[in-house]
Amino acid sequence: MQRALLIAQDLGDALYEIQTLSNLGLVHGQDGDLKASQDQLLEAARVINELDAEPKFGVVEIIDGDTVRYKLAGDVLPDEEPLVRQGIGHAGDRA
């Protein structure tokens, strides 16, 4: 499935990318790797949010120097709020 994800990204096919990320998240979850599952599902939500100006899944992008990571808006810590990139989601979107 990682190959399918690369193909979707190379094609610029956001819907195929979302579907593949969601499938990867489900497979990781079924395998008991909850961290990897959450990472894939959060990435799928981030791509969905990019397709629509108004975030639907409460996922935020946190930029700290050269590091970019994604979290559920409700999990953003107070010291991370200034690092949240607007337009992807923001801490006010807490789910």
Residue 1 has a pLDDT of: 78
Verify that 47 and 63 share a domain, yes or no. no
Contacts of 92 (CB under 8 A, 6+ apart): 73
Coil vs helix vs strand at 85 = strand
Residue 17 has a pLDDT of: 93
pLDDT tens, residue by residue, 5-60: 899 889 989 889 999 999 999 999 999 998 999 899 988 988 887 876 555 667 77
Asked if residue 76 lies in contact with residue 60, where contact means CB atoms within 8 angstroms, the answer is yes
Phi and psi torsions of 24, nearest 5°: -60, -40
Task: State the virtual CA torsion across 92, 45, 52, 79 in degrees, nearest 10.
Answer: 30
pLDDT greater than 50 at residue 94:
no
Asked if residue 63 lies in contact with residue 86, where contact means CB atoms within 8 angstroms, the answer is no
pLDDT tens, residue by residue, 46-75: 888 787 655 566 777 788 888 778 787 778
Structural domain total, the chain: 2
Verify that 65 and 95 share a domain, yes or no. yes
Verify that 64 and 95 share a domain, yes or no. yes
Domain that holds residue 59: 54-95
Verify that 62 and 31 share a domain, yes or no. no
Verify that 59 and 15 share a domain, yes or no. no
User: pTM score, two decimals?
Assistant: 0.59
Verify that 22 and 62 share a domain, yes or no. no
Verify that 28 and 68 share a domain, yes or no. no
Asked if residue 95 lies in contact with residue 57, where contact means CB atoms within 8 angstroms, the answer is yes
Verify that 77 and 92 share a domain, yes or no. yes
Mean pLDDT taken over the chain: 80
User: Quick one: what percent of the chain has pLDDT higher than 70?
Assistant: 83
Verify that 23 and 67 share a domain, yes or no. no
